[in-house]
Chains A and B, each alone.
Chain A
Amino acid sequence: MGLMSLTAIQLGNKIKSGEVSVSEAAEAALNDINKVEGTINSYVTVLSEDDIKKRAKEVQEGIKNGIYTGPLAGVPVAIKDNMCTEGILTTCSSKILNNFVPTYTAEAVLNLNKAGAVIIGKTNMDEFAMGSTTETSYYGATRNPWNTEHVPGGSSGGTCTAVAAEECSFALGSDTGGSIRQPCSFCGVTGIKPTYGTVSRYGLIAYGSSLDQIGPVAKDVADCAAILETIASYDPKDSTSVKRDDYDFTSALVDDVKGMRIGIPKEYFGDGLNEEVKTAIFKVVDVLKEKGAVVSEFDLGLVTYAIPAYYVIASAEASSNLARFDGVKYGYRAEEYNGLHNMLKKTRSEGFGPEVKRRIMLGSFVLSSGYYDAYYIKALRTKALIKREFDKAFENYDVIIAPASPDTAPKLGESLSDPIKMYLGDIYTISANLAGLPGITVPCGTDSKGLPIGVQMLGDCFSEKKIIQTAYSYEQSREYVRCSICE
């Protein structure tokens, strides 16, 4: 087993103690990338060995000089390709940004840099984070390391496969409708979508601005808590950033759920949920019950409206957010065109993939005059009602337990042919984005095909610590399972 089989904290400790050098850790990551990348395609960009070594040297110095003292110093990290990284190609897995090298670095990534993490590369994703399979990338689909016939989920597919296939120590993803929690579930890794406003969005290329959050993906809950502690900050450059006084998420790494009130929403366990997934989730519930948690079922009726509300809001925001990609300032420009309007049309027609175009059209439609009230306003109202329903639920429960996806990872090519079915697959994750809630996915077994299953835990806004504590307690009952490709 190589260094990448360690958790980020374990590796960080070895680096701190001098047992492993920063360069050795980075080399280990590069070796594992060389081994599996041809099969998995986790990355859009892997940094050059020279650049990585240079950074490794700098961090090693910094550790020696007491500049980098945190748990992630010297640890190799992969960044989803929708976060701006100064001097490093940032594509959003789209052709339209095939040559975009940002002039600045996203705040969350900057926070990692300040903690001494070593960026290895930029991970593949669904184009502009639109999709649930990482198949819509212009740079080719990413494959599930557990079974390469299957998708890794999405949109943070590359982020999750890079962690699962040990091509990095940990990674950052982003979650607009489940884009961290669902692929974590498909890839057997752990990830957190924080409360909206906890991690700065500055430098995150927006999909749905009111829903997007950056979050950590790693092998276990302790890693995720430590990473979140590092990347979360109040950022005056992001007007939606929230000043919190509880960034010490690792303090919640306590194996104790005695008296923790856990709610099971009935709507999340009805038709459409794979039996094997259902059984696995209820086993998690049993473990927590045994440890002293108080579990009961309840109704969360409005979540059935979450999917239409989500797709209206996210698409509306996306249609406007993606307007800036026009070939004028940066990114791809059509090679032949005739005048300004033709240039805009051809650039966007050639630069965006079909799923992105579908959502831009959907979003433009729901915002157009005459439809704004009927769709957009109604969706916002639904969002507010869903938030209110969760507020009520959290009066009675500390944590809500749900699946992360109706099924385990589908085969490549199965989902894109039926976008409606793909959208419906987001049923368990999108409510958290609409209500701004934090959520965590932890692995909880495999199905009969050997594909991972994840359990999702949701908390009230600003209650990350409760879900971290619950997930951590559950995690103590099982061992981390590596996928076969790592052997």
Chain B
Amino acid sequence: MSKEYETVIGLEVHVELATKTKIFCGCSTAFGGAPNTHTCPVCTGMPGSLPVLNRQVVEYAAAVGIATNCTINRFCRFDRKNYFYPDNPQNYQISQLYLPICENGGVSIETPDGGKKTVGIHEIHMEEDAGKLVHDEWGEASLVDFNRSGVPLIEIVSEPDMRSAEEVIAYLEKLRLIIQYLGASDCKLNEGSMRADVNLSVREKGSSEFGTRTETKNLNSFKAIARAIANERERQIDIIESGGKVVQETRRWDDAKEYSYPMRSKEDAQDYRYFPEPDLVPVIISDEWFDEIKSKQPELRDEKMVRYKEQYNLPDYDIDIITANKRLADIFEETVKLGSNPKKVSNWLMVETMYLLKEKGLEPDLVSFSPVNLAKLIKLAEDRVINGNVAKEVFEKIFDEDIDPEEYVKENGLMSVNDEGELRGVIEKIIAANPKSVEDINSGKLKAMGFLVGQTMKEMKGKADPASVNKILKELLGI
């Protein structure tokens, strides 16, 4: 390649909002359910039915807008996007084009070189999801399931501010964390509650003109996004290098084949004939409502990171891991509130929790134990009621079943044996049985101490307090 190219990327991110009911009717948004059981005349497009806006959708959309530094349009409107497709029962989608709820925002991300940059957000708008086509593999027919029809979405449209897959993923991670912190969505790419379409063009480095862009759809993981970006960049550069012209089109990514193919070009792009939805009145966010939404805004990650440093004096490394997931941060704060030492709580979360998550192949969102049980465990260990190894064992029980550690330790007799008389007797026996080790120690090979401690612990079935064992051993050996 003789020339150097720059990749220019903008994203359209769809996020499914965590409302209990659909955007324009009272039907449940719950996932699963037998086909067409979460439906009514409104979300199946029955003649004569009318949409009624779910206020929670506006609140979530505005909350995301506020958190991403957007201007919130206090007067916004819905528009109809007209196109024929059987999963779309009215053959129009209620969306926002002319007056979206949020505009002109942006979030700051870290670039691969460790610097910071802002990715602009052009707009965020509210819209309804479509149903799902089910293709009958045995028959000639396709069937429609409208359970998803009318599930609320927001679409977050970025400016073309990203230059690499790393930046794209940093931006998506940032959005995901913000939205998860707000409780507006669980943002799972693999389950489709967060979907990203990549608009990408390339241009010669230094050029100020944009190249012709393509839109790539069907990206279900960060890895798929990274692969699709690399692939599309190469594809466009190849076209340009060989004297061709990139065609503006929508492409579909096949992650298994690591290949994208064109879905439709600009020429056969549809005319959606947008116009203001006459069945809905404009959305007016009054000062009171706006203040209410703002007051409900939780502390976001960036603010939390600063506070953890100031309030708990945790190392940056700890803060980074704990705040990377709202669930962990919540457990951290609640446990600390119960009186536990912040660094100790952090250690349990960062080390043991992360280890168990990895071991069991779970996402941090699924951590379900109660802070009160973690606090009790920390107290048991601090008071030396149990030793470190036992604590780890008990923690796994807490992690799996959220057991009460006090009761569990009692029921299973896991308390450390700190009774000097009993310990002394056992250690005396161990010393007598291991003259070689004693000899080693006496000749300065202190490593053998460890062996004797281990033997003692074994004899005590792990319940001895290691500090006491050490103390008595040293005393008996006269060192």
Q: Do A and B originate from a single complex?
A: yes
- A interface residues with partner B (beta carbon < 8 Å): 83-84, 90, 92, 97, 100, 102-104, 106, 201-206, 208-210, 236-240, 316-317, 319-320, 323-326, 328-330, 340, 344, 364, 367-369, 372, 376
Is B251 in contact with chain A by the CB < 8 A criterion?
A: no
Contact A100 B47 (CB under 8 A): yes
Give complex CA distance A316, B274 in Å. 10
Where the two chains meet, the residues of B that have a C-beta atom closer than 8 Å to any C-beta of A are 41, 44-53, 80, 82, 84, 86, 89-92, 142, 144, 271, 273-275, 278-281
Asked if A238 contacts B50 (CB within 8 A), the reply is: yes
B84 and A323 form a contact (CB under 8 A): yes
Contact of B275 among A239, A324, A376 (CB under 8 A): A376
Flag if B273 contacts A340 (CB, 8 Å).
no
Q: Given A102-B46, A320-B80, is A369 in contact with B280 using a C-beta cutoff of 8 Å?
A: no
A239 adjacent to B281 (CB under 8 Å): yes
B46: chain A residues at CB < 8 Å are 84, 102-104, 330
Q: Is the CB of B279 within 8 A of A239?
A: yes
Are A239 and B53 CB-contacts (below 8 A) given A209-B278, A328-B86, A367-B273? yes
For the complex, what is the distance from the CA of A204 to the CA of B47, rounded to whole Å?
8
Q: Roughly how many angstroms separate A317 CA and B92 CA in the complex, as a whole number?
A: 12
Give which listed residue, A205, A209, A316, A368, contacts B47 with CB less than 8 A: A205
Q: How far is the CB of B86 from chain A (nearest CB, A)?
A: 5
Give the number of residue pairs across the A-B interface with Cβ within 8 Å. 97
User: Which 7 pairs show the lowest CB-CB distances between chains A and B?
Assistant: A323-B91, A367-B273, A209-B278, A210-B278, A203-B48, A205-B47, A84-B48
Partner pick for B273 among A106, A201, A204, A364, CB 8 A cutoff: A364
Q: List 14 A-B contacts (CB under 8 A).
A: A84-B48, A102-B46, A201-B50, A206-B279, A209-B278, A238-B50, A317-B278, A320-B275, A323-B91, A324-B90, A326-B86, A329-B45, A367-B274, A372-B273
Interface centre among B46, B52, B271, B273, by most chain A C-beta atoms within 10 angstroms, is B273
Contact, CB under 8 Å: A326 / B84? yes
A216 to chain B, nearest CB (A): 19
Task: Tell me the bound Cα distance from A102 to B49 in angstroms.
Answer: 11
Closest approach, in angstroms, between the C-beta of B27 and any C-beta of chain A? 13
Q: Complex formed: what's the CA distance from A369 to B271 in Å?
A: 7
Query: Is B49 touching A202 in the complex (CB atoms < 8 A)?
Result: yes
Query: Are B279 and A320 touching (Cβ within 8 A)?
Result: no
Query: When chains A and B are docked, how far (Å) is the Cα of A367 from the Cα of B79?
Result: 12
Query: Which residue of chain B lies nearest to A331 when distances are taken between CB atoms in the complex?
Result: B47
Which residue of chain A has its CB nearest to the CB of B44? A329
Contacting residue for A239 out of B86, B92, B273, B280, CB 8 A: B280
A98, chain B: closest CB distance, angstroms: 13
**Most B Cβ at <10 Å: residue of A203, A210, A329:** A329
Q: For B271, what are the chain A residues with a Cβ–Cβ distance below 8 Å? A: 368-369
For residue B41, which residue of chain A has the nearest CB? A104
B82 touches A367 (CB 8 A): yes
* Cβ-closest chain A residue relative to B82: A320
Please name all residues of chain B whose beta carbon is closer than 8 Å to the beta carbon of A324 when the two chains form the complex: 45, 47, 89-91
Complex contact B48–A323 (CB within 8 A): no
The winner among A102, A106, A208 for most chain B CB atoms within 10 A is: A102
Interface hub of B44, B82, B142, B281 (most chain A Cβ within 10 A): B82
- Given A317-B278, A329-B89, answer yes or no on A204-B82 (Cβ-Cβ < 8 Å): no
Whole-angstrom CA separation of A211 from B281 in the bound complex: 14
